[in-house]
Each structure stands twice: as C-alpha cells, then as structure tokens.
C-alpha cells in the first residue's frame, strides 16, 4: 500500500513541476553523474595492460647518469699544496708568498693553538662519533658556544660542524613557504642554497644598493595592502653578508637596520669574512658601524676564515638561536664538530680577547695592500679597503667570462711559478644564481710585511702586463 | 602539573606480568655471564678491543649466508614484531594525555619562555604547534638528549652530570661526573680512541700540515694526503674513483642536486635520512616514496613511474630514474635488501644511490659495507655514499663510483668547490683507520675488530630476544632498536639505565611514528662480552620493572653462546 502511495506522490510532484524546471534538474543530475564518473575514470589516464607496460619498460631509455666531463675543465686541475698553509706556502712545487687562503689572522701557523688542539685530541680522540643529541655534545662544544655568546655579548650561540651548512641550515629553520626574503644579489653560494631550501619567495636587490631594496619593500607594502590577511602571516626577512665573499664589499648596515625597523624585517647577517676581521675587537660588521647587536636578529659565521679551523656558528638572542637546536637540519642530523677543532676555535677566541691589537694590524695591512694593489695597470682591484678579502678583475673586460677566466688562470699560474700564490676564485658558473665575473682572489694575512706586499705587487704587475 | 617529568605516568607494573614469570627463566640463564664488570670499578683502555683475540677461532663475520634466496634470507633474519593491541591503545592514550596536560599547563601557568624583545608588531616567528610541542611535551624528557660528555666516546664515556630545578626549562651542572658504558655512540669498529696508532698519526699530521686549509679544494685546499685518501677510498670499495667531503650530512645534501634535475624521478625509501630528503628537495626532482624495505612496493612505484612518465609534464618519459636507499637504516636497524634492489634497478634501468652512513665498516667480512655483506659487485651500485664519522671515528663523507661520475662531481659538486677541505688530522684518522681495516698496516687488528663487532651484534641481539623485549631489524645489524612504545617510557628507560651506568639513546615522535618510541643501542667492536653481559643484566631488570617485555614470540630456552 505504502509503495503505491509513494509512487502516486512522486507522480504528483512531477505533474506539478513546470517543464523548464524539470529539464534543468535533469540536466543538473546528468552533470553530477558525469562529473563523478569522469573523476573516477579519468583522474589518471587509462591504465595500460601488462603487455603495454612491459613494452614501455623495454623501450625506456634513460639519459646517462652524468654527462661527459671535459678533461680540460678548469676545476679538474687542482693545485697541490705541499706544506703547512701559512704565510709561505708550497704550491705545485713552488715556494710562494700566500695571498690566497682565508687565513686572515695567521692563526694557521700559531703554535699555541696547535698545541692546545693536540692536547684536546689526547683527551677526546679525533671524531665525536655522534650528533649533538646522541652523546656527541662534549664539554668543549658547550664552552665554545658560551664563549662565542659572551664575546659577541649576545645570549646564545650554536655551533655547526661545517661552515657551508651553517647559514644554509639557519635560513630554512625560520623562513618557510609563504614567507618573503629580501636578499642582496651578491650573496655567497651557501646563502643561495639556504634560500632554495626555505622555499620562500625570494626578492633580490642590486648588490649593496639600498635604494633598490627600498623599492622592493615599497612594492611589497602595496601588495600587503591589497591582501592584508595574507600580510598578517607573511614573515619578512632580510639577508646580507658583513663583507661579501664574492666582492669584498662591506654591507651598508646602518641603512639596512633603518629599513628593518621601518618595514618590520628580521635581519640575518652572514659574517664569514667579517667576523674576526672588522671592528676594534674583531666582532664584525656590527662593531665596525657601532650598531647595537640587538638590532640584528641572527648573526652567522663560518670558522674557516679568521679562526682558522673548521665549522661555523650562529649567534643571537636565546629566543632566536635556541630554535635551531630543534630545527637546524645541519645541526641535528650531523655529527658534531671534532673536539680538537672545537678547541682550536676556543683558543682562537682566547687570542681575540687577549690581543685585540691583531685586528688593528690586520686592518692596517688590508689598507696597505689595497693602496698598493690599486695601481695595477692591467688589473682592477675591487673590494673595500678594510676588507681582508679583495678581488682582482681584468681592467679591460674580455669577450666573455670563459675567456676572462682562462686569462686569469694563466696569470695565477705564472705568479705561482714566480713565487706569489694567488688563485682564480672557483665558482660553479652554471649553478650560481647568475654567472659571477671571474676574478683573482686576494686574501690578506696579518703577518704580511710591507716589503712582501710590494714584491708581490711587482711580480703580479710584471706577469699581468706580459700576459694580458 | 608541577610534577617531575620522570614520574608523569607509566602504567608499568600492571604489564610486567609477563616479565614476572620469566624472571626465573632469565636468572637461570645468567650462567652465561660471569659478570664482574662495572663501569665505575674497572678502568679499561679505550678502543682497541683486546678481547677479540681470545675468541678468534670460531667467529663468523657479518656476512649474508647466501644459502637461501635473498628474499627468504631477509624474512628469516629480519624481525618487525607487531605491537600488542593494548599497548598501541595505551600509547595513543598516553600521548594525547601528555598533549592535554601540556595545554592545561600552558593555560594555567605562566610559561617560562624567552620572549622576543624589540620586535613589536612583527609576524610571529614560530609555528604555534611546533613551539608548544617542544615546550610542553619534549621538555618533559629533554634531559635524555644532548647530554654533555667529557671523554672519548669509546666503549665507555664520562657524562657530565646535570640537574634541573625547573622541570627541564634549564639545566645546571653539579660538577660531578658519571662513568657509563657507552651504547649510544656510532663507534662501530671502536676507532674512537685518544691513544694508539690513529691518534698518534693524526697528531703528527696536525703538526705537519696544520689544522685546516682556510680554502676550498679547488683553490688552495688540496694536498697529497687528500689525494691519497680518495685513491684509498676507491680501492677500499673496489671502484674506479672517489671524492671526499668535510661533512657527511653535506655529502648528501649538497651533491644529490648536482645529479638530479626537475625531470628526474627519485624512488626513495620512506625511512631515508633527513640529509637525503633535503638534497632531494633542493634538486627539484619528483620524489616517490616506497614502503620501508618493501621490494614489491618498490617495483610497483618504479613500474608506475616509468609507464606513466612525468604526469606533471604531459606524461613525458623521465630523463633519469634513481633509487635511493640506505645500507643500514639508523632508526629501524634493518639492512637494505640489496640483491633484490640491484635486480630491480637493472630491470627498470634506474640508477642506484646507496647511503652507507651506518653500514660502511660495520658490514661484510672486509668491512666494505652492504655490497661486501651480500657479495654484490660494487660496480652495480652507481653511487656509493657514506660517512667517515661512524666506523672510522672521524668526520666527513665520500662518494665513490665510476671515474666519469666522480669527474662530473669534481666539476659540479657544491661542497667541492665552495666548502672548506677536510682538516689534515681528521683526514689522517680516516687514512689510518681505513688502512687498518684493510689490513695494510700488517696486523690483524682490522679483521679482529670486524669479527668482534659481528660477534657482539649477534650475541646482544639474541640475548635481547631471549629476554622477551621487542627489537627491530636484521640480526646482523649493529644498530639495535628496542621498542618501548610509550613516550614516557623512553625517558624512564634512559634515566634508569643512566643510574645503572649505561648510556643509551632514546628516540620518539617526531623522529619515529607516535606509536613507536624506542631505545637504540649501537654496538661496537670495543665492547667486551663482560660489558655486554652487564648491560643485558641491567636491561633485563629494567624491562621487568618498567614492563618492556612485550614480545609474544617463543623464546630460546638455551643459553646463548658468545
């Protein structure tokens, strides 16, 4: 009975509905069914049969794992060092004055540091056999962190076991997808990798050009006004280097800090070159410009420059630095820094604190070298006069970067044969964000004498005049 | 909520019923242990396992037997026992309870947290859940990690004691030290030592060549020692060439991206290490994950991937397909099923990247890693990767393979071109220990170490199984995870074992799935039978007290032979 009633009911509904509504509803129903079926069957295209699959697999030809490498590739020819890397160095059998290693303070030949490192080796062995979390933390690591924090007058430092991984891990620990990072386009490769790993939006401004940065910030502000909801979630970072590894220029920190305040940016400075070289006490670019270090959110540095050991560190407030102990990938998942190298860093800090005059000496030598090396006839010196790391470019640009590089390698080879170790700076041109102009890297060592710098000038000048 | 983390909760006694009737059983087995060893009493020479020589005659190395098919042998030797249902429920319950208590704690009490100064009006720097988790969940057992030591991480280590007055927010050193048996460091072959040949030669090298180069390999950071190291590494693995780097993590993170591009497909084991995942993420390749060590799933993913091509790019065929696996998976203690992976790789024309961070030195009769263990031709693996941190007691990593591959890396590797070279004493430690393993120092030391590790591994794993705890992984793997499931039991075990002078590592969420909290033992050739017996005895008692004997497998009633 109930079934018949139900049919009657349905019949009434159909009769009472206008035809156009009925047509519309049927049309809708068909669309829904079609959508459902289409999604099920067509989300992935038609499945192949087993025979077809076998045929495809049979015929699949992958590319070779790697391409052929040109046997004359400049990076394949590495120079051979046959001595301690001090002020003098034996390269490819030639005894040379060393103007190529980042041993700014001459700590590589410091006997006291070496002795203390060896003593540490006799206490802890060579390796640490574990990451920091799993019994790889030794008292020397804690001491080094404490000492760095104290030296920089900040709350907390965190030590990494590899210079390259320091800043490359620090950036993605904070910057995530959806955030925006403003970066100087001249930053070194490690920073570029950190930016890649963060997956944030990256906005590059022209090298050391504060106006260009401000232009980008204004653009961003306009975008934020259009979409205020998104702006509330977008963290903004500014990444720069104290002294640029690639160009030897000091960053305009006071202007950057002013912009940080105005546009609410978090500012990260990589001081791999400037730590232990700039400022009265070697505290880097903040001391150089006399800027309160609380203005900077995070300072990172490699210890492979002025401290003449391995590894790197980040230093900042407790609130910021501590976060890396659970989020800095290179910190958590890597074995800790070998204790003897940690001890070498502590001993280097001892020297920093005991003898602040070494920084004055280094800066004086850098200025001296800058003056003398500015006079090359065929080479153009680039870099700040206080920077311990400067670059020599060809004065007359070559037809392309490859040609320039070949000529610079030629210059470097002949200089080494005549007793001055300079090298062309190594870059992976195809992997940099944009090709870097080839240059000869000049690194200043505190122990250089004026006569030695002049003699080196003569040799490089003679060689470059003859070759170029 | 102001309770000490250690007494937060663990429903221990209720579940030790199984353990109770076993107690008699296990004590009767103690005839195996003439346990006079105690970490506090005895001062042992670090490293250089002296005991190995005594038992040399009947010792077998870590080596696949090859009597059965690789698949059968894998199933016979690998164990991943299912968690008992009630434990699973309790684990989830416990975890959520911990979270709820954390939320209440956060609401009611003013959290003692460092706040940001001078950044008013900024977008919050951290994700809210992440900081909640580390402050209110992880903090409760924070004392079980990052423990500072002040000695060689050898067979024993010295912990610097620390206490917390504020429930884990901060720690203070008491000034005392505790000598512990070390079951936590990756010192597989016992090369971590402050005396002996390795240390002597490292010191000599430091005096000759200094502590660093302050330059990359491509500029002024290359000397004869590093070239020798690369040649020796290539010879060690029986391949054409090798390249070395200063950090193991960076070896993965900075080289995978030179080998892969956006139109590449990578088939990666779900338990692969963070460094691999980072390297893959940087490369832009399409990543497909297969179930841990599951060959059927690997084949399914490979087949699907190759047949349907790059679906993001209209089904275009992949330019390269690469399988990435590890030799020993450090959290699971399992060994990769290499012969089957190699067969699949050949069938589907994929390339194989093998990360031997934990297996190099520890596996195979010559210590050459899993290729040696399975007697697989190392040339069948396209890229051999590993670290020098663990078995070699040093730091750094290598990539080994064909000359073509290594030449490509020399001209394309980020770490080679930009990062600093390996420090001379660190490189020397690798050279000396590698020569020792190869027997090129003219002694049997290397061989003895390999044998000792193999014997320690089997003995320790079998005894643990006999105790009735659940362990994961392969019976030849020196990484031994013991499942404790509950988050708070991780803390309880680590703390209890510390009071009994044993240092172990715990691992919980997010390093493992929520349900699978575990304690990880890492065996070493430096351990003696007496040390292992001492550890097993303590673990036995602790497991009874905390109710860790979850296993429902039949137990071997006979004493285990060393």
pLDDT tens digit string along B80-122? 888 888 888 999 998 889 899 988 988 887 777 777 888 888 8
Residue B34, pLDDT score: 45
Residue B419 domain flag = yes
Over range B507-530, report the average pLDDT. Answer: 90
Quickly list H helices, B309-402: 338-347, 370-374
Q: Do A135 and B505 touch (CB under 8 A)?
A: yes
Q: B319 and B175 in one domain?
A: no
- E strands, B164-308, in order: 172-182, 241-245, 264-269, 286-290
Residues of A in contact with B193 (CB under 8 A): 125
Q: Which chain B residues touch A139 with a CB distance below 8 Å? A: 148-150, 160
What are the residues whose beta carbons fall under 8 Å from the beta carbon of B440, sequence distance 6 or more? Answer: none
| pLDDT score for B58 | 56
* Distance (Å) from the alpha carbon of B97 to chain A's nearest alpha carbon: 23
pLDDT at B173 over 90: yes
CB pair distance less than 8 Å for B206 and A114: yes
Does residue A154 lie in a domain region?
yes
Residues B252 and B336 in one domain: yes
The region, left, alpha or beta by phi > 0 then psi within -120 to 50, assigned to residue B20 is: alpha
What residues of chain A, 386 to 415, have a C-beta less than 8 Å from chain B?
none
Percent of chain B's residues with pLDDT above 90: 66
At B6, is the pLDDT very low, low, confident or very high (cuts 50, 70, 90)? very low
Among candidate residues B408, B438, B468, the one where a domain is terminated: B438
Give the 3-state secondary structure of residue B137: helix
Tell me: do B471 and B428 sit in the same domain.
no
Q: How many domains does chain B have?
A: 2
Q: What is the DSSP letter of A49?
A: P
Q: Yes or no: say if B441 and B191 are a contact pair by the CB < 8 Å rule.
A: no
Per-residue pLDDT, B33: 42
Whether residue B384 sits in one domain with residue B239: yes
Same domain, B172 and B279: no
Token pair, residue B40, equals: 């506090």
Confidence at B329, pLDDT banded by 50, 70, 90: very high
Q: How far apart are CA B180 and CA B527, in angstroms?
A: 12
For chain B, say whether A67 makes contact (Cβ under 8 Å).
yes
pLDDT of the residue at B8? 35
Helix then strand count (H, E) for chain A reads: 18, 14
pLDDT of residue B42: 56
Q: Is the pLDDT of residue B400 over 60?
A: yes
Query: Number of structural domains, chain A?
Result: 2
pLDDT of residue A1: 61
Q: Best of B218, B304, B390 to disrupt the A interface by mutation (most A CBs within 10 Å)?
A: B218
Check whether residue A140 and residue A95 sit in a common domain: no
ipTM of the complex: 0.89
Please tell me the predicted confidence (pLDDT) of residue A40.
56
Same domain, A342 and A372: no
Please report whether residue A460 resides in a domain.
yes
d(CA A345, CA A311): 9
Average pLDDT over residues B502-515: 87
Distance CA B502, CA B465 (A): 19
My answer on whether B452 and B308 are in the same domain is no
Which chain B residue has the Cα nearest residue A261?
Answer: B119
Q: Return residues 135-154 of A near B (CB < 8 Å).
A: 135-139, 141-142
Determine the structural domain holding residue B485 and report its residue range: 142-182+447-546
On whether residue B234 sits in a domain, the answer given is: yes
CATH number assigned to the domain comprising residue B380: 3.40.640.10
Residue B266 pLDDT > 80: yes
Q: Is residue B338 part of a domain?
A: yes
- Domain check: are A104 and A116 in the same one? no
Q: Is residue B483 domain-shared with residue B364, that is, in the same domain?
A: no
Q: Are residues A333 and A363 in the same domain?
A: no
Q: How far is it between the farthest Cα atoms of chain B?
A: 72
Plot region of A182 (φ>0 → left; ψ -120 to 50 → alpha; else → beta): beta
Question: B222 and A79 in contact by Cβ < 8 A?
Answer: yes
Mean pLDDT, chain B, integer: 87
Determine, yes or no, domain membership for B492. yes
Best CA proximity match to A66, nearest among B225, B114, B156, B319: B319
Inter-chain touch A266–B405, beta carbons under 8 Å: no
pLDDT at B7: 34
Divide the 468 residues of chain A into consecutive groups of 10 and give the mean pLDDT of each group: 79 83 90 78 66 88 90 88 92 94 93 95 94 93 96 95 94 94 94 94 95 95 92 93 94 95 94 94 95 94 93 94 91 94 96 95 95 94 93 91 92 94 91 90 94 95 92
Same domain, B250 and B345: yes
The H-assigned helical ranges of A49-125 are 50-59, 111-124
Q: Same domain for B423 and B457? A: no
Percentage of chain B beyond pLDDT 70 is 90
Q: B333 and B250 share a domain? A: yes
**Residue B359 domain flag:** yes
Same domain, B356 and B419: yes
Inside any domain, residue A69: no
Q: Are A419 and A94 in contact (CB under 8 A)?
A: yes
Question: Could you tell me which residues come within 8 angstroms of residue B526 by beta carbon, excluding any fewer than 6 positions away?
Answer: B46, B47, B48, B49, B154, B155, B187, B190, B192
Whether A164 has its CB under 8 Å from any CB of chain B: the answer is yes
If asked whether residues B202 and B300 sit together in one domain, one would say yes
Residues of B in contact with A329 (CB under 8 A): 249, 253, 274-275, 278
Q: Which A-chain residues 92-121 have CB contacts (< 8 A) with chain B?
A: 98, 100-103, 108-109, 113-114, 117-118, 121
Last-in-domain residue among A352, A369, A395: A352
A248 plus A271 within the same structural domain: yes
Q: Please, are residues B541 and B11 in contact by the beta-carbon 8 Å criterion? A: no
Q: Which of A66, A263, A442 to mutate to test the interface with B (most CBs of B within 10 A)?
A: A66
- Domain range for residue A270? 111-352
Does any domain span residue B231?
yes
Is residue A254 in some structural domain? yes
Chain B nearest-CA distance from A331, in A, is 9
A186: CATH: 3.40.640.10
Task: Report the b/e string of B470-489 with b at 16+ CB within 10 A.
Answer: bbbbbbbbbbbbbbbbbbbb
The domain that contains A458 carries what CATH number?
3.90.1150.10
Report the alpha-carbon distance of residue A276 to residue A448 in Å, rounded: 17
Q: What is the pLDDT of residue B11?
A: 35
**Whether A142 and A181 share a structural domain:** yes
Tell whether A457 is covered by a domain: yes
* Residue A21 belongs to a domain: no
Cα separation, A368 vs A406, whole angstroms: 29
Whether residue B53 has pLDDT greater than 50: no
Which of residues A330, A352, A374 is at a domain's end? A352
Q: Are A38 and B288 in contact (CB under 8 A)?
A: no
Distances (CA, A) of A263 to A181, A293, A294: 13, 18, 17
Residue in B closest to A326 by C-alpha: B134
d(CA A73, CA B21): 71
Query: Environment class of residue A268 by beta-carbon count within 10 Å: exposed (0-12), middle (13-18) or buried (19+)?
Result: buried
Q: Does the residue A172 lie in any domain?
A: yes
Closest by Cβ to B426, choosing from A126, A233, A329: A126
Instruction: Tell me the C-alpha distance between B491 and B509, whole Å.
Output: 13
Res B22: pLDDT: 37
For residues A236 and A273, state if they share a domain: yes
Q: What share of chain B is helix, strand, coil (3-state, %, to 5)?
A: 45, 15, 40
The whole-angstrom separation of Cα B204 and Cα A459 is: 35
In a domain, B23, yes or no: no
Q: Give the CATH number, domain containing residue B506.
A: 3.90.1150.10
The residue out of B438, B471, B506 marking a domain boundary is B438
Please check whether residues A403 and A273 belong to one and the same domain: no
- Determine, yes or no, domain membership for B187: no
Separation between Cα atoms, residue B397 and residue B247, nearest integer Å: 6
Residue B37, pLDDT score: 84
> A319 with A175, same domain?
yes
What would the two tokens of residue A145 be? 């962190």
Q: How far apart are CA A311 and CA A272, in angstroms?
A: 11
Select from A322, A352, A382 the last residue of a domain.
Answer: A352
| Cβ proximity of B415 and B246 under 8 Å | yes
Confidence band, pLDDT 50/70/90 cuts, at residue B78: confident
Cα B51 to Cα B441, B445, B523, distances in angstroms: 20, 11, 15
Task: Give pLDDT, residue A3.
Answer: 74
Of A132, A135, A264, the CB nearest to B121: A264
Which pLDDT does position A388 carry in this prediction? 94
Estimate the crossing angle of helix B424-438 against helix B196-209, to 10 degrees. 140
**Chain A interface disruption, residue of B170, B175, B220, B312, most A CBs within 10 A:** B220
Whether residue A67 lies inside any domain: the answer is no
pLDDT of residue A464: 93
Where a domain ends, among B438, B464, B485?
A: B438
Q: Give the H/E segment covering residue B488.
A: helix B487-499
Instruction: Tell me how far apart the alpha carbons of residues B336 and B70 are, in angstroms, rounded to a whole number.
Output: 11
Contacts of B192 in chain A (CB under 8 A): 125-127, 129
- Closest CB to A308: pick one of B122, B149, B211: B211
Q: pLDDT (tens digit, 9 = 90+) per residue, B365-396?
A: 999 999 999 999 999 999 999 999 999 999 99
Mean pLDDT of B339-364: 94
């Amino acid at each position: 009975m109930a079934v018949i009633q139900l049919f009657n009911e349905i019949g009434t509904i159909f009769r009472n509905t206008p035809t156009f509504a009925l047509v519309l509803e049927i049309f809708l129903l068909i669309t829904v069914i079609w959508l459902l079926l289409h999604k099920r069957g067509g989300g992935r295209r038609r499945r192949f049969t087993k025979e077809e699959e076998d045929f495809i697999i049979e015929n699949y030809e992958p590319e070779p794992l790697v391409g052929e490498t040109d046997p004359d590739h400049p990076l394949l020819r590495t120079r051979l060092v046959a001595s301690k890397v001090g002020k003098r160095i034996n390269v490819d059998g030639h005894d040379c004055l060393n103007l190529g290693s980042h041993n700014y303070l001459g700590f590589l030949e410091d006997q006291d540091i070496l002795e203390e490192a060896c003593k540490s080796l006799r206490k802890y062995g060579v390796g640490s056999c574990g990451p920091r979390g799993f019994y790889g933390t030794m008292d020397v690591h804690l001491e080094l962190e404490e000492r760095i924090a104290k030296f920089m007058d900040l709350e907390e430092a965190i030590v990494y076991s590899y210079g390259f991984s320091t800043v490359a891990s620090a950036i993605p620990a904070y910057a995530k997808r959806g955030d925006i990072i403003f970066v100087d386009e001249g930053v070194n490769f490690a920073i570029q990798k950190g930016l890649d790993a963060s997956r944030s939006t990256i906005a590059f401004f022209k090298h050391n050009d504060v106006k260009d940065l401000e232009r980008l910030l204004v653009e961003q502000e306009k975008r934020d006004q259009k979409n205020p909801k998104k702006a509330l979630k977008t963290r903004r970072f500014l990444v720069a280097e104290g002294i640029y590894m690639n160009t030897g220029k000091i960053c305009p920190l006071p202007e950057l800090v002013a912009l940080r305040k105005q546009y609410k940016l978090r500012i990260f400075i990589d001081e791999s070159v400037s730590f232990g070289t700039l400022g009265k006490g070697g505290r880097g670019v903040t001391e150089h410009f006399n800027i309160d270090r609380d203005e900077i959110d995070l300072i990172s540095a490699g210890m492979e420059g002025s401290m003449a050991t391995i590894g790197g560190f980040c230093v900042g407030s407790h609130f910021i630095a501590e976060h890396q102990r659970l989020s800095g990938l290179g910190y958590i998942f890597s074995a800790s820094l070998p204790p003897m190298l940690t001890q070498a860093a502590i001993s280097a800090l001892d020297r920093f604190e005991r003898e602040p005059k070494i920084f004055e000496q280094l800066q004086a030598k850098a200025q001296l070298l800058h003056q003398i090396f500015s006079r090359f006839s065929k080479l153009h010196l680039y870099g700040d006069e206080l920077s311990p790391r400067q670059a020599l470019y060809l004065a007359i640009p070559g037809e392309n970067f490859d040609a320039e590089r070949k000529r610079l390698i030629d210059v470097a080879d002949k200089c080494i044969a005549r007793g001055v170790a300079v090298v062309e700076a190594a870059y992976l041109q195809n992997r940099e964000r944009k090709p870097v102009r080839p240059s000869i890297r000049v690194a200043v060592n505190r122990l250089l004498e004026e006569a030695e710098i002049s003699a080196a000038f003569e040799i490089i000048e003679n060689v470059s005049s003859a070759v170029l | 909520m102001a309770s000490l983390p250690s007494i937060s909760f663990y429903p221990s006694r209720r579940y030790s019923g199984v353990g109770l009737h076993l107690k008699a059983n296990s004590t009767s087995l103690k005839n195996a242990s003439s346990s006079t060893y105690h970490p506090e009493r005895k001062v042992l020479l670090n490293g250089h396992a002296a005991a190995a020589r005594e038992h040399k005659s009947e010792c077998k190395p870590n080596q696949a037997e090859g009597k059965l098919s690789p698949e059968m042998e894998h199933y016979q030797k690998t164990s991943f026992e299912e968690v008992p249902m009630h434990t699973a429920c309790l684990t989830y319950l416990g975890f959520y309870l911990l979270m709820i208590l954390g939320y209440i704690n956060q609401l009611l009490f003013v959290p003692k947290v460092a706040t940001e100064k001078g950044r008013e009006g900024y977008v919050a720097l951290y994700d809210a859940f992440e900081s909640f988790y580390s402050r209110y969940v992880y903090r409760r057992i924070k004392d079980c990690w990052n423990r500072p030591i002040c000695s060689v991480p050898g067979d024993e280590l010295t912990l610097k004691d620390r206490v917390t007055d504020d429930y884990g927010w901060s720690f203070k050193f008491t000034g005392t030290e505790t000598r512990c048996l070390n079951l936590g460091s990756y010192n597989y072959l016992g090369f971590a030592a402050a005396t002996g040949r390795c240390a002597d030669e490292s010191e000599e090298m430091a005096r000759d060549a200094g502590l660093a180069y302050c330059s990359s390999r491509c500029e002024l950071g290359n000397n004869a020692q590093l070239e020798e190291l690369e040649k020796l590494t290539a010879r060690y693995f029986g391949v054409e060439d090798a390249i070395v780097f200063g950090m193991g993590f960076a070896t993965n993170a900075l080289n995978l991206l030179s080998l892969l591009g956006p139109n590449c497909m990578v088939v990666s084991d779900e338990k692969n290490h963070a460094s691999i995942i980072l390297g893959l993420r940087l490369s832009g390749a399409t990543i497909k994950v297969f179930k841990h060590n599951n060959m059927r799933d690997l084949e399914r993913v490979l087949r699907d991937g190759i047949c349907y091509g790059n679906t993001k790019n209209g089904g275009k065929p992949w330019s390269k397909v690469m399988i990435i696996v590890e030799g020993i998976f450090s959290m699971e203690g399992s060994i990769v099923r290499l012969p089957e992976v190699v067969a699949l790789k050949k069938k589907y024309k994929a390339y194989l990247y093998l990360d031997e961070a934990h297996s190099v030195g520890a596996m195979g009769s010559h210590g050459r890693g899993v290729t040696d263990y399975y007697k697989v031709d190392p040339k069948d693996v396209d890229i051999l990767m590993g670290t020098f941190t663990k078995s070699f007691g040093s730091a750094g990593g290598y990539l080994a393979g064909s000359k073509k591959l290594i030449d490509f890396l020399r001209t394309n590797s980020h770490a080679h071109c930009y990062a600093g070279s390996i420090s001379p004493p660190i490189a020397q430690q690798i050279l000396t220990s590698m020569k020792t393993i190869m027997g090129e120092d003219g002694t049997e030391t290397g061989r003895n170490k390999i044998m000792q590790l193999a014997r320690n591994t089997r003995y320790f794993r079998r005894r643990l199984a006999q105790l009735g705890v659940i362990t994961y992984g392969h019976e030849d793997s020196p990484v031994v995870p013991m499942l404790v499931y509950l988050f708070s039991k991780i803390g309880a075990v680590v703390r209890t074992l510390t009071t009994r002078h044993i240092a172990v590592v715990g691992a919980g969420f997010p390093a493992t799935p929520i349900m699978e909290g575990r304690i990880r033992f890492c065996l070493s050739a430096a351990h003696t039978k007496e040390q292992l017996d001492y550890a097993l005895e303590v673990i036995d008692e602790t497991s009874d007290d905390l109710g860790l004997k979850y296993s429902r497998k039949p137990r071997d009633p006979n004493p285990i032979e060393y």
